[in-house]
C-alpha cells in the first residue's frame, strides 16, 4: 500500500510523469526498450543478492564478479549490442555501481579495436572477447595522474631479442588505481615511456600479460595486488603493478599508429589528435553520470521529505511534511532543476560527439578542439555541482540520511571520484580556459570565432566596458529564460575578458608559465562562467522542443529556477559586471522563492519522472511506496551486529570488566 502522503502528492501533479520520462529517454520507444531491459535483469533470479550494505569488501567483490560473468554471457545470449543498451543493462545488473570488468569492457577491448594492428587483433581480440583474457588499462601511476607526460614506467627495446623490457624504476612509477588490476585481470594495456636506440619516444601502449593463464598466479617479474580500502568502489579491485625487467615480444606494442621496427627504428604516428576522441567520449559520459547520480539523490530526498513530518509550522496543527518548509525547498528544488539541466547537457554532448566523431573518421577534425575544450569544462562543472548536490540531498534527510539505508552515502562515494578521474577538475577548467583565452586572442586580432564562444565576437566589436553594459540592464527580463541566457552570456564575456586582460598584464611582468599560474584562479572563474552560460543556454533551447504544454510549463519553471538561483548564488558577478542592479537582484531572490512554491506541488512527480526502479535506487528512504519506517526496521534487523542477540564483546570485554571493578 502506498504511503498516503505520496499518494496525495502524485494525485496533485499538473502533468503526466511518463511524458517527461520519454523526453529524458529520448522518445517513448527508448523508454519502452529501457524498461524491457530493466525487467530482464530484475526478474532474473541470477541477479538477486543480499543487500550490499551488509557485505564485507571481499564479499562485494565476489558478488560483482559473479554478476559480471553472468552479465557478459546474457548480453550475448540476448543479442544486446547497442552501446547505450549495454550501458543500461550493465547499470541495472550492477545497480549503478562499478564492477571489476568495467575496464576490460570499457577500455581494454575498445583500445584493442582502435589501436591494435589486424595481426594483434587476431591474437588478442577474440580471447579477450571470450574472457579468456581479462584486461585492464594501466595508465595512472602512484606519483603521476593527469599530467601524462610525467609518467615514469619505461619500455626499453632490445633489438637482440626483439623484446621490450618493462620496468617500474621508482616507487612513484608503480601503476596505481587501475580498476580490475588488483585481482581480476590477467593482462593489462600498460602506458610506458618508449626507449629505442637510446632515445625516449614518449608514451606508448603495450599489451602486458601479468598473471599466468590457468593458475592466475602473478608472472615472474610482476608484482601485482589490490591498493586497499577506499571511500567507495568496494567491489572494484583497483590495483597496483610493479614490473622488474619484464620482457614482452615486440609485437605486443600497440602498433596501429606508431611502430617500432625489428631493428629498433621508430616510425611516428600520423596524428596524435585521434586519442582526444576517446577522452571526449568518456568525459561526456561523466556529464551524463552527474545528471543521473544527482537525480537519484534528489529522488530519495524529495520523496522522503514528503513522507517525513517534523515540528510545527502552524500552532496547534499536526506536524507538517518537511517539504513544506521553505528552507527544505530551497535546499532541494534548485538541485532538482540542476539535475534536469545536466540531463539535457549530457544529451547535447552525446549528440554532438556522435555527429563530430562521424567527421573524425572522415578526417575532419575542425570541431574537435572546441568540443574537447567544452567537455573538459562541463565535466568539471557538472561533477563538482553534482558532488556537492548529492551531499546536500543527504544532509536534507537529517539523521537518517547518514544511515547507509538511505542509499545516498553510497551514491556519494561512488560518484565523488568523478571529480578526479579522467582529468582532475581544476586541470579540466584550465583546459577550457586555455581555449577561451585563445578564442579571445583571436577575436582581439580581428578574427571571428564560431560555436559556443561566438559571444566573444560581440565583445570585440563593441569593446564593452563594464559600466557601459549597465545601460543594458533594463533589458533583462526575469521571467524569460532567453533573456537570462543573455545575462549569463554577458557574465561569461565579462569574466573571459577580465581573465585574459589580467593574464596579459602578468605577462609583462613574468614568464608565460608564471603568468598563467598567477592568473589561474581568474581563469577557472572564467571557465565556470562559460560553462554556466552553456548550460542555461542548452536548457532554454530544450524548452522549445517540448510539445506537451503541461510538461513544457513545469520544465520552464525549473529552467527559470536554475537560471535565477544561479544568479542569486553569484550576485557579486552580476553586480560587479553591471549586468543587474541591486533592485533586480532583490527581485531575483524574491522570484526564486516564489518559484519554490510554484514547483512544490509537482516535486514528487518531477522525481518520479526520472523513473528509477526501487532496486536501482537502493534506498529505504526513497522507496516508491513511501513506507519508510517499517522498512528501515526490517533493514536494520539484517545488520551484521544483530547476527546474535548478545554480541561476543559482552563475554570478551564487558563481563570481565564488571567483575573486576
Partner 1 sequence: MALLETHKYSQGSALGGVNPDLASERQTPSFSVEKLTALLDGGEENTRIRRAVVEAIESDPVFSRENQYFQSQNEKYEAAVRKAVHLQKKMHEMGWTENGPEFKYIYRALSGEVAFLLHTVFMRSISVLGSDKQITKWIPLATQYQLIGSYAQTELGHGTYLQGLETTAVFDIATQEFILNTPKISAMKWWPGDMGRSATHAVVFAQLDIQGKCYGVHPFIVQIRSLWDHSLCPGITAGDIGPKMNFDHIDNGYLMLQNVRVPRENMLSKFCEVQPDGTYVRRGSQQINYFTMTALRVALISHEAVIPLMKACTIAIRYSVVRRQSKLKPGEEEAKILDFQTQQEKLLPHVAAAYAFHFINNYLEDLFNRGYEEIQRENFDMLPELHAFSSGFKAMVTQYCASAVEACLRACGGHGYSLLSGLPSLCTRILASCIYEGENTILFLQTARFLIKCFMAASAGHPVPPSVTYLAAVKPGKCPAKNKFDFLSPDTYTEAYQHAAVRLISSTAAKLQDLIQSGVKKHDAWNECTVQLVQAVKAHCHYITVKNFAETVERLETKGGIQRIMKHLCDLFALHGIFSNAGVFLHDGYISGAQMDMVTASYLDLLAVIRKDAVPLVDAFDFTDKTLNSALGSYDGQVYQRLYEWAQKSPTNTQMNPAYERYLKPLLHKKLSKL
Contacts of 557 by beta carbon, 8 Å cutoff, 6+ apart: 595, 598, 599
Of residues 66 through 105, those in contact with partner 1 by CB under 8 A are 66, 69-70, 73
**Residue selected from 82, 84, 122, 132 as contacting partner 1 according to rule CB under 8 A:** 132
Min dist CB 258 to partner 1, Å, is: 23
Q: Phi first, then psi: give them for residue 61, nearest 5 degrees.
A: -60, -45
Contacts of 369 by beta carbon, 8 Å cutoff, 6+ apart: 435
**Residue selected from 82, 122, 359, 514 as contacting partner 1 according to rule CB under 8 A:** 514
Give the whole-angstrom CA distance, residue 219 versus residue 224: 9
Binding of partner 1 by 125 (CB under 8 A): no
Binding of partner 1 by 36 (CB under 8 A): no
Q: N- to C-terminal Cα distance for the chain?
A: 53
**Residue selected from 98, 135, 179, 182 as contacting partner 1 according to rule CB under 8 A:** 182
Coil, strand, or helix at residue 159? coil
Among 500, 496, 473, 508, CA closest to 582? 473
Min dist CB 548 to partner 1, Å, is: 32
Of residues 302 through 341, those in contact with partner 1 by CB under 8 A are 308-315, 319, 324-327, 330-331
Q: Which stretch binds partner 1 (CB under 8 A): 336-344, 357-365, 444-452, 650-658?
A: 650-658
Q: Does the annotation flag 140 for ligand binding?
A: yes
Min dist CB 16 to partner 1, Å, is: 30
Q: Is there a catalytic annotation at residue 391?
A: no
**Residue selected from 197, 462, 465, 576 as contacting partner 1 according to rule CB under 8 A:** 576
Min dist CB 575 to partner 1, Å, is: 4
Sheet strands side by side (includes 239-243): 175-176, 239-243, 222-226
Does the CA dihedral 562-568-573-578 come out positive or negative?
positive
Beta bridge partners of 218: 211
Min dist CB 629 to partner 1, Å, is: 5
- Do 128 and 135 touch, CB atoms closer than 8 A? yes
Binding of partner 1 by 355 (CB under 8 A): no
Catalytic residue among 163, 392, 422, 497: 422
In the complex with partner 1, the residue whose CB is nearer, 28 or 471, is: 471
Binding of partner 1 by 130 (CB under 8 A): yes
Binding of partner 1 by 56 (CB under 8 A): yes
**Residue selected from 19, 75, 131, 550 as contacting partner 1 according to rule CB under 8 A:** 131
Contacts of 609 by beta carbon, 8 Å cutoff, 6+ apart: 17, 18, 20, 21, 24
Min dist CB 459 to partner 1, Å, is: 18
Coil, strand, or helix at residue 1? coil
Of residues 410 through 449, those in contact with partner 1 by CB under 8 A are 413, 416-417, 419-421, 424, 426-427, 430
Cβ atoms within 10 Å, residue 113: 11
Of residues 449 through 488, those in contact with partner 1 by CB under 8 A are 466
Encode 507-516: b = buried (16+ Cβ within 10 Å), e = exposed: eeeeeeeebb
In the complex with partner 1, the residue whose CB is nearer, 121 or 502, is: 502
**Residue selected from 31, 114, 121, 570 as contacting partner 1 according to rule CB under 8 A:** 570
Give the whole-angstrom CA distance, residue 322 versus residue 334: 16
Of residues 583 through 602, those in contact with partner 1 by CB under 8 A are 585, 589, 593
Min dist CB 262 to partner 1, Å, is: 32
Size (the chain), residues: 661
Of residues 194 through 253, those in contact with partner 1 by CB under 8 A are 213, 216, 225-233, 237, 240
Give the C-alpha distances (Å, rounded to integers) separating 242 from 163, 170, 194, 245, 605: 18, 9, 17, 10, 52
Q: Which stretch binds partner 1 (CB under 8 A): 248-256, 452-460, 549-557, 572-580?
A: 572-580
Does the CA dihedral 92-97-100-101 come out positive or negative?
positive
Q: Does the annotation flag 179 for ligand binding?
A: yes
Give the whole-angstrom CA distance, residue 382 versus residue 393: 16
Active site positions, annotated = 422
Annotated binding-site ranges for FAD? 140, 179
Annotated binding-site ranges? 140, 179
Amino acid at each position: 500500500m502506498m504511503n498516503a502522503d505520496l499518494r496525495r502528492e502524485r494525485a496533485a501533479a499538473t502533468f503526466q510523469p511518463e511524458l517527461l520520462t520519454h523526453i529524458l529517454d529520448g522518445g517513448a520507444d527508448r523508454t519502452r526498450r529501457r524498461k524491457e531491459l530493466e525487467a530482464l535483469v530484475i526478474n532474473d533470479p541470477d541477479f538477486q543478492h543480499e543487500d550490499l550494505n551488509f557485505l564485507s569488501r571481499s564479499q562485494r567483490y565476489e558478488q560483482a564478479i559473479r554478476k559480471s560473468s553472468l552479465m557478459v554471457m546474457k548480453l550475448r545470449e540476448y543479442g544486446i549490442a547497442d552501446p547505450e543498451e549495454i550501458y543500461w543493462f550493465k547499470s541495472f545488473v550492477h545497480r549503478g555501481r562499478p564492477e571489476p570488468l568495467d575496464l576490460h569492457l570499457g577500455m581494454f577491448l575498445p583500445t584493442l579495436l582502435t589501436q591494435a594492428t589486424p595481426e594483434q587483433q587476431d591474437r588478442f581480440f577474440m580471447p579477450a572477447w571470450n574472457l579468456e583474457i581479462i584486461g585492464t588499462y594501466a595508465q595512472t601511476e602512484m606519483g603521476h595522474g593527469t599530467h601524462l607526460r610525467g609518467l615514469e614506467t619505461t619500455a626499453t627495446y632490445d633489438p637482440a631479442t626483439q623484446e621490450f623490457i618493462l620496468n617500474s624504476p621508482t616507487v612513484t612509477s608503480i601503476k596505481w588505481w587501475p580498476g580490475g588490476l588488483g585481482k581480476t585481470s590477467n593482462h593489462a594495456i600498460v602506458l610506458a615511456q618508449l626507449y629505442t636506440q637510446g632515445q625516449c619516444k614518449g608514451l606508448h601502449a603495450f599489451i602486458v600479460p601479468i598473471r599466468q593463464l590457468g593458475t592466475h598466479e602473478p608472472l615472474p617479474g610482476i608484482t601485482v595486488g589490490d591498493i586497499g580500502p577506499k571511500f567507495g568502489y568496494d567491489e572494484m579491485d583497483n590495483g597496483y603493478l610493479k614490473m622488474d625487467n619484464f620482457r614482452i615480444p615486440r609485437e605486443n606494442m600497440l602498433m596501429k599508429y606508431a611502430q617500432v621496427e625489428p631493428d629498433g627504428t621508430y616510425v611516428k604516428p600520423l596524428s596524435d589528435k585521434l586519442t582526444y576522441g576517446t577522452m571526449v567520449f568518456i568525459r561526456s559520459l561523466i556529464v551524463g553520470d552527474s545528471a543521473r547520480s544527482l537525480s537519484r539523490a534528489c529522488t530519495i530526498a524529495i520523496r522522503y521529505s514528503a513522507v517525513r513530518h517534523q515540528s510545527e509550522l502552524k500552532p496547534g496543527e499536526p506536524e507538517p511534511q518537511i517539504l513544506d518548509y521553505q528552507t527544505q525547498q530551497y535546499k532541494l528544488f534548485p538541485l532538482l532543476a540542476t539535475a534536469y539541466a545536466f540531463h539535457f547537457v549530457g544529451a547535447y554532448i552525446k549528440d554532438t560527439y556522435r555527429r563530430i566523431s562521424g567527421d573524425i573518421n572522415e578526417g575532419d577534425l575542425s570541431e574537435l578542439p572546441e568540443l574537447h575544450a567544452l567537455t573538459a569544462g562541463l565535466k568539471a562543472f557538472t561533477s563538482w555541482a553534482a558532488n556537492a548536490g548529492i551531499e546536500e540531498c543527504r544532509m536534507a534527510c537529517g539523521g537518517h540520511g547518514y544511515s547507509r539505508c538511505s542509499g545516498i552515502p553510497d551514491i556519494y562515494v561512488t560518484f565523488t571520484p568523478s571529480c578526479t578521474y579522467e582529468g582532475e577538475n581544476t586541470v579540466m577548467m584550465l583546459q577550457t580556459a586555455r581555449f577561451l583565452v585563445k578564442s579571445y586572442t583571436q577575436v582581439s586580432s580581428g578574427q571571428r570565432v564560431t560555436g559556443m564562444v561566438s559571444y566573444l565576437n560581440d565583445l570585440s566589436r563593441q569593446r564593452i566596458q563594464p559600466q557601459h553594459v549597465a545601460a543594458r540592464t533594463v533589458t533583462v527580463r526575469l521571467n524569460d529564460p532567453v533573456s537570462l541566457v543573455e545575462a549569463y552570456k554577458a557574465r561569461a564575456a565579462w569574466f573571459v575578458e577580465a581573465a585574459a586582460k589580467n593574464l596579459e598584464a602578468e605577462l609583462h611582468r613574468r614568464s608565460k608559465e608564471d603568468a598563467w599560474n598567477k592568473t589561474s584562479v581568474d581563469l577557472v572563474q572564467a571557465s565556470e562562467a562559460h560553462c554556466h552560460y552553456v548550460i542555461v543556454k542548452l536548457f532554454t533551447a530544450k524548452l522549445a522542443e517540448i510539445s506537451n504544454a503541461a510538461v513544457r510549463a513545469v520544465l520552464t519553471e525549473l529552467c527559470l529556477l536554475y537560471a535565477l538561483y544561479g544568479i542569486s548564488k553569484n550576485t557579486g558577478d552580476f553586480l560587479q559586471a553591471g549586468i543587474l542592479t541591486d533592485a533586480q537582484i532583490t527581485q531575483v531572490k524574491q522570484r526564486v522563492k516564489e518559484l519554490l512554491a510554484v514547483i512544490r506541488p509537482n516535486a514528487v512527480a518531477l522525481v518520479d519522472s526520472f523513473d528509477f526502479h526501487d532496486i536501482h535506487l537502493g534506498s529505504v528512504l526513497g522507496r516508491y511506496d513511501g513506507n519508510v519506517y517499517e522498512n528501515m526496521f526490517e533493514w536494520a534487523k539484517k545488520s551484521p551486529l544483530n547476527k546474535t542477540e548478545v554480541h561476543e564483546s559482552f563475554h570478551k570485554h564487558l563481563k570481565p570488566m564488571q567483575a573486576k571493578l
